Amino acid sequence: LARPLADPIPTGNLRTLERKARGCRNCPLWRPATQVVFGDGPPDAVAMLVGEQPGNQEDIAGAPFVGPSGQLLDRALQEVGLDRGRLYLTNTVKHFKFEQRGKARLHKRANAAEQEACRIWLAAEMLQLRPKVVVALGAMAAQTVFGRQFRVTRERGQWRELPGRARGIASWHPSAVLRMPGPRRETGYQELVEDLGRVAEAVGA
């Protein structure tokens, strides 16, 4: 991760980490959320994909990228021949943040303090997996992995060296693609596919 952590990094295998994360009280997001949405994938995953934060459906299912952005991501992965089962999918922030409006739960972006509080979990996942390839989807993930100066608009699709002989790349967040207006959406999707294509090539998919 781009900056040092204030708190010690939790240890243990992925299951242990998930169990520990269920008891995390480092920020207030745990209280209204249904559950922690920890990362998902095999310990020997060929690449780690980092999103932003779980949405409504992820909160209910307890698994990352199962809602509309997950479906878009799945389609893009399929196009480039990346098998989701060989990837570790996780998020920068591991609880759904929302505002209750009647029956609807409206997604809210985790603030800087909540992102900071959750960084120990991403750091712990990285220590366990030691991924050779890290893919940051969207600005929140990219700035957590590459630093606050990172701009997805300018720097997506370019490999960067990471500590431990690893490398990282950033792309659009699938939900950002879904929000792009009209024809921009198709271009945005193609750019996501192009960037994931570089990942597929790097891992020999």
Considering only residues 41, 54, 131, 188, which one is a binding residue for ligand URA as defined by CB under 6 A? Answer: 54
Q: Please choose, out of 11-19, 58-66, 79-87, 146-154, the segment that lies near ligand URA by the rule CB under 6 A.
A: 58-66
Only one residue has tokens 């609880």, namely 95
Q: Which amino acid appears at position 71 of this protein?
A: Q
Asked if residue 65 binds ligand URA (CB under 6 A), the reply is yes
Q: Alpha helices, DSSP H only, in 33-158?
A: 56-61, 68-79, 112-129, 139-146, 152-155
Q: Does residue 125 bind ligand URA (CB under 6 A)? A: no
Q: Which stretch binds ligand URA (CB under 6 A): 48-56, 128-136, 158-166, 193-201?
A: 48-56
**Of 9-17, 21-29, 57-65, 161-169: span binding ligand URA (CB under 6 A):** 57-65
Of the candidate residues 35, 45, 49, 58, the single one contacting ligand URA (CB under 6 A): 58
Q: What's the closest the beta carbon of residue 137 comes to ligand URA, in angstroms?
A: 7
User: Does residue 59 touch ligand URA according to CB under 6 A?
Assistant: no
Give the contact letters, 86-115, x = binds to ligand URA (CB under 6 A), - = no: -----x------------------------
Sheet holding 133-137, edge to edge: 87-91, 47-51, 133-137, 166-171, 160-162
Q: Which of 90, 100, 70 is nearest to 141 (CA)?
A: 90
Bridge pairing between strands 166-171 and 160-162: antiparallel
Strands 87-91 and 98-101: unpaired
Q: Which of 83, 145, 117, 166 is nearest to 156 (CA)?
A: 145
Point out which residues bind ligand URA (CB under 6 A): 51-55, 58, 64-65, 67, 69-70, 91, 175
